[in-house]
Amino acid sequence: MSTSPSVIDTRRDQMFPVLEPFEIERLRRFGKVRRYDAAAALAKVGELGIGLILILSGQVEISRRDGLGHSTQIVTYGPGSFMGELAQLSGRPTLIDAYARTPAEALIISPDQLRALLIAEAELGERIMRALILRRVGLLETGAGGPVIVGRAGNGDVLRLEGFLRRNGHPRQRLDPDTDPEAKALIERFHVDPGELPIVLCPGGELLRNPSENELARCIGLVGPIDPNRVYDVAIVGAGPAGLATAVYAGSEGLTTLLLDCRAFGGQAGASARIENYLGFPTGITGMALMARAYNQARKFGVETAIPDEVIGLEAASGSGSGRFVLKLATNERVIARSVVIASGARYRQLAVDGLESFEAASVHYWASPLEAKLCAGQEVALVGAGNSAGQAAVYLASQVSKVWLLVREHVALPRRPHCGPLECGGVGEDHHHGRRRPRWDAGSNPVATRYWRGGASSNPTSVPVHRGGSQHGLALRLRRSLGRQGIRIDGCGRGRGPILSGDKPGGRVCYR
Ligand SMILES: Cc1cc2nc3c(=O)[nH]c(=O)nc-3n(C[C@H](O)[C@H](O)[C@H](O)COP(=O)(O)OP(=O)(O)OC[C@H]3O[C@@H](n4cnc5c(N)ncnc54)[C@H](O)[C@@H]3O)c2cc1C
C-alpha cells in the first residue's frame, strides 16, 4: 500500500479555494443563478454534469461514492467555494455526490462558459483549473466515482481494463474475488461464473461481464455518440503527442476540433516512465503527467474527444459536401471534417517468438507503468531490447522488482573495454536453443520465465546490486545514451563477458549480459 500522503492533505488549500466577493462578481457574467432546497441534490455520481457550481449562499455537502455504494464525505462547501472537477470541462458524468445541507443559492457555469472563463480570466482561471485537476488527482487516489472491477490482479483482462482506465485518467477500484468479501457477495448476487470474470460494476449500477474497452468507456460515459451531421473544422486521428499538440493549437485558434483515439490519450509517450528531453521540464516528467496536461489543455480550448473510437476509413465527401472528408469509425459512425490530421504514430514491433500471444497482457507487456511494476513486484523481469524505452524501464523497474535482466540481440561494442567482447541474443524458455534464431517460448512453462541463455554459449549472467553511480562509461551508443541518462553506469566486466551496470536505485538490481 502506498505510504505517500494524499493530495487532499498536502494541497488542500489549492484544491478547495474560496473566492472573494469581488471575484464572485467577476464570474457572474459566465453563469446563471439557481436555488436549491435543503437536501436537494446538486450532483449525483454517474449523472451528466451541468458544469461548475459556485456556491453563493448556504452549505453544500460533497461526498465520494465507490462503486459499491459506500459514501465518504470529502468537504462541505460554503459561499465562495465551487464544485467541480475535470469532468465539468466537457459535461461528462459526475464523479461525486453533492447535496444541499441548508437552502442554497449557486451560480451554474455550463461547460462551454467554464472554458470561456478559463481563457478570459487568466489568474482566476489558473486557480480554478488547478483545483479541477487536483480534485481529479484526489479521486484517482481513492478510485472514487469510477467503476469497480472484480477480478484477480494478474488476469490479462483485468490488466487490460485497469490499464485502459489508468491511461484515460479515470478512477477505478479492483476487488479480488479470492480475498474480498464484497467481491464474493457481488459474484453471488449477479450469479457470475468464475469463467465470466472479470466483471465491472459501473457507477450507474450496470454490470458488464468482461467488457471490451469500448463497452466500458460507453458505460461510464467516457465516450458518447458522434453527431453525423456536424462538420468539424479539424478531425485528428490519434491522441499521442502529435495529435494532442495539433488539438491544442487548433482549439486555441477557435477551430471546431474532434480528437479521436482508439485506445487512450497520450499514445506511446503516455507509457513512458520518465521523459527527460521535453522542453521546459528540466527535472523530467512522467509521460502520463505530461500527456494529461496536454489533454486537459486541449479540453480547455473546447476540443471534443472521442476516445476510444477507432478510425477505419477515410474518403472525400461527394455532392454538396465536396471539399469535406468523411472518417468512418469502427462503431459504424462517421465524422465529417473540412480537414483531417492523421497522427496515428507507430506500431510496436513484436518479438518473433512462437506462442507470444498467449503471454501478452498477463506476463508480456510493452511498457512498464506502475500497474506492471505492481504486478511483478519482487520478481525477476526480463527486458527485451536496449533502446530508450528499455533504459527507462530498467531504471524504473529496478526499484520495484528483485532483478531486471536486459536481453540484447545485436552485437554491442564496448569502446572503453574491448575485452568484454560482443554480446548475443538472449533466449527465453526452458529449452536451450543452440544456433536457433527464433528462441522457443514454451507456453507450458511458468509464465514468468526464470532462465535466460546467451545464444550458443552457456555462462552465468552477471548481476550486481545497484547503487548510486559516478561517471559513465560506454556501452554501444544507443544503450549508453538510454541507460546513462537514467543514472546507470558501467562498472566493469562480469563473469559472463557482460558489463556490470550500476545506477541510482538502491535495493534494485540491474543485470546485463
Ligand atoms: C515506453 C516509451 C518511452 C518513451 N520515452 C521517450 C522519451 O523519454 N523521450 C522521447 O522523446 N520519446 C520517447 N518515446 C517516444 C515517443 O513517445 C514517441 O516518439 C511519440 O509518442 C510519438 O508521438 P505520435 O503522436 O506521433 O504517435 P503515438 O504516440 O504513437 O500516438 C499515436 C496514437 O494514434 C492512435 N491511433 C493509431 N491508429 C488509430 C486509428 N486508426 N484510429 C484512432 N486512433 C489511432 C494510437 O492509439 C496512439 O494513441 C517513448 C516511447 C515509449 C513507448
DSSP string, 346-372: -PPPPP--TTGGGGBTTTB-SS--HHH
Q: Cα–Cα distance between 158 and 79 in angstroms, integer?
A: 43
Residue whose C-alpha is closest to residue 259's, from 233, 281, 277, 284: 233
Q: Residue 232, SS3? A: strand
Task: Centre a 10 Å sphere on the Cβ of residue 502 and count the other Cβ atoms it contains.
Answer: 20
Instruction: Report how far ligand 1's centroid is from the alpha carbon of 223 (Å).
Output: 21
Q: Residue 314, SS3? A: strand
Kindly state the cell numbers that stand for 163: 490499464
Check if 272 has its Cβ closer than 6 Å to any atom of ligand 1. Answer: yes
- Tell me what pLDDT residue 99 has: 96
pLDDT score of 192 more than 80: yes
Whether the upstream peptide bond of residue 198 has omega within 30° of 0, thus cis, is yes
pLDDT > 90: what percent of the chain?
A: 46
Q: Where are the alpha helices (DSSP H) in 207-286?
A: 213-219, 241-252
Kindly state the cell numbers that stand for 391: 533504459
pTM equals 0.77
Check if 277 has its Cβ closer than 6 Å to any atom of ligand 1. Answer: yes
Q: Cα–Cα distance between 275 and 283 in angstroms, integer?
A: 9
Ligand 1 atom nearest to CA at 265 = 49
**HSE-up of 430 (CA within 13 Å, CB side)?**
7
Measured at the CA of 239, the angle between CA 256 and CA 95, to 5 degrees, comes to 85
Q: Cα–Cα distance between 459 and 439 in angstroms, integer?
A: 17
Label residue 409 by pLDDT band (50, 70, 90): low
Instruction: Report how far ligand 1's centroid is from the alpha carbon of 213 (Å).
Output: 19
Q: Tell me the per-residue pLDDT of 128-140, one tens digit each, with 9 for 90 and over.
A: 999 999 999 988 8
Label residue 485 by pLDDT band (50, 70, 90): low
Ligand 1 atom nearest to CA at 348 = 53
CB-based contact 331:419 (threshold 8 Å): no
Domains in the chain, please, with CATH? 7-142 (2.60.120.10), 148-219 (3.40.30.10), 231-312 (3.50.50.60), 356-511 (3.50.50)
Pocket test for ligand 1, best of 281, 335, 344 (most atoms within 8 A of CB): 344
Pocket test for ligand 1, best of 167, 268, 366, 478 (most atoms within 8 A of CB): 268
Measured at the CA of 360, the angle between CA 354 and CA 366, to 5 degrees, comes to 105
Residue whose C-alpha is closest to residue 64's, from 122, 6, 131, 140: 140
Check if 262 has its Cβ closer than 6 Å to any atom of ligand 1. Answer: yes
pLDDT, average across residues 114-124: 93
Q: Cα–Cα distance between 93 and 213 in angstroms, integer?
A: 17
Kindly state the cell numbers that stand for 317: 465527401
Check if 367 has its Cβ closer than 6 Å to any atom of ligand 1. Answer: yes
Instruction: Report how far ligand 1's centroid is from the alpha carbon of 333 (Å).
Output: 25
Residue whose C-alpha is closest to residue 147's, from 211, 98, 87: 211
Q: Tell me the per-residue pLDDT of 1-32, one tens digit each, with 9 for 90 and over.
A: 445 677 777 888 899 999 999 999 999 999 99
Check if 344 has its Cβ closer than 6 Å to any atom of ligand 1. Answer: yes
Kindly state the cell numbers that stand for 417: 573495454
Check if 428 has its Cβ closer than 6 Å to any atom of ligand 1. Answer: no
N- to C-terminal Cα distance for the chain?
34
Check if 238 has its Cβ closer than 6 Å to any atom of ligand 1. Answer: yes
Check if 486 has its Cβ closer than 6 Å to any atom of ligand 1. Answer: no
Task: Centre a 10 Å sphere on the Cβ of residue 12 and count the other Cβ atoms it contains.
Answer: 14
Beta-sheet pairing, 489-493 with 426-428: unpaired
- Tell me what pLDDT residue 109 has: 96
Check if 260 has its Cβ closer than 6 Å to any atom of ligand 1. Answer: yes
Residue whose C-alpha is closest to residue 49's, from 15, 98, 120: 98
Ligand 1 atom nearest to CA at 243 = 25
Check if 239 has its Cβ closer than 6 Å to any atom of ligand 1. Answer: yes
Sequence-distant (≥ 6) Cβ neighbours of residue 429 within 8 angstroms: 439, 440, 441, 442, 445, 449, 451
CB-based contact 168:265 (threshold 8 Å): yes
pLDDT, average across residues 57-82: 89
- Tell me what pLDDT residue 117 has: 95
Q: Which residue has the cell 432546497?
A: 37
Check if 388 has its Cβ closer than 6 Å to any atom of ligand 1. Answer: yes
Pocket test for ligand 1, best of 164, 223, 272, 305 (most atoms within 8 A of CB): 272
Q: For 160-164, 255-259, 348-352, 428-432, which range has the lowest pLDDT when averaged over its residues?
A: 428-432
Check if 240 has its Cβ closer than 6 Å to any atom of ligand 1. Answer: yes
Check if 346 has its Cβ closer than 6 Å to any atom of ligand 1. Answer: yes
- Tell me what pLDDT residue 114 has: 95
Instruction: Report how far ligand 1's centroid is from the alpha carbon of 304 (Å).
Output: 20
Q: Where are the alpha helices (DSSP H) in 180-222?
A: 181-189, 213-219
Instruction: Report how far ligand 1's centroid is from the alpha carbon of 348 (Å).
Output: 10
Helices (H) then strands (E): counts for the chain: 13, 26
Identity of the amino acid at 452: Y
Task: Centre a 10 Å sphere on the Cβ of residue 442 and count the other Cβ atoms it contains.
Answer: 14
Check if 345 has its Cβ closer than 6 Å to any atom of ligand 1. Answer: yes
Instruction: Report how far ligand 1's centroid is from the alpha carbon of 307 (Å).
Output: 15
Ligand 1 atom nearest to CA at 272 = 3
Check if 391 has its Cβ closer than 6 Å to any atom of ligand 1. Answer: no
Residue whose C-alpha is closest to residue 80's, from 102, 53, 101, 42: 53
Q: Residue 107, SS3? A: strand
Q: Tell me the per-residue pLDDT of 239-294, one tens digit each, with 9 for 90 and over.
A: 999 999 999 999 999 999 999 999 999 999 998 888 888 999 998 899 999 999 99
Locate the DSSP E strands across 89-177.
Answer: 96-100, 104-109, 148-150, 173-175
- Tell me what pLDDT residue 351 has: 79
Q: What is the mean pLDDT of the chain?
A: 79
Kindly state the cell numbers that stand for 244: 494532442
Q: Tell me the per-residue pLDDT of 353-372, one tens digit each, with 9 for 90 and over.
A: 777 787 777 778 888 888 78
- Tell me what pLDDT residue 88 has: 87
Give bridge partners of residue 327 from the DSSP assignment: 314, 335
C-alpha radius of gyration, the chain, whole number: 26
CB-based contact 460:473 (threshold 8 Å): no
Check if 275 has its Cβ closer than 6 Å to any atom of ligand 1. Answer: yes
Instruction: Report how far ligand 1's centroid is from the alpha carbon of 243 (Å).
Output: 9
Beta-sheet pairing, 257-260 with 304-306: parallel
CA 469 remoteness from chain centre: 31
CB-based contact 78:115 (threshold 8 Å): no
Q: Cα–Cα distance between 471 and 468 in angstroms, integer?
A: 10
